[in-house]
Amino acid sequence: MIKLTRIDDRLVHGQVAFTWTPALGVDCLIVANDKVAKDEFMKMALGLAKPAGTKLLIKSLIEAAAFLNDEKNKTLKVLLLINSVKDAYIMANEVPEIQSINFGGIRSKEGSRLISKAVAVSDDDITIIRDLLNKEIELEVRQVPTDQKQMLESLI
């Protein structure tokens, strides 16, 4: 069962390990990212950041979707980590269980603008966000579980 789908360009880090994982009671972190799935150094680095006693699976987007859609994996309590709006869109289209996406941290880059203190989006991201909203997927912004949810549509 997916407890949270989170967009965070840092993927696995302190907030995920020490606040989200215990708050959600998850036993499995899944990083869904095509580039990281092929990068042994990144996999090792993310493995060092994972909380003790928690599984870490690093899969391509398609592999992650297949894993999450497989009935035999439904007993896992999963925190799904994605690093871009585009990848979140792909996962939401491939995994019907995803009905809510948390925007945790997307750093500013050329062509993007801040919509909250930790989330910057581009015009392309906004197009994808509008499509996700039309599919009635909840989009919320929170850095940590104790933050109050801000609905993304009110920020764009």
Q: How many structural domains are present in the chain?
A: 1
Q: CATH no. for residue 62?
A: 3.40.35.10
Closest CA to 86 of 124, 114, 123: 124
Domain range spanning residue 36? 2-154
- For the full predicted model, state whether its pTM sits above 0.75: yes
Per-residue pLDDT of 22-51, as tens digits, reads 999 999 999 999 999 999 999 999 998 999
Q: Does the pLDDT at position 125 exceed 90?
A: yes
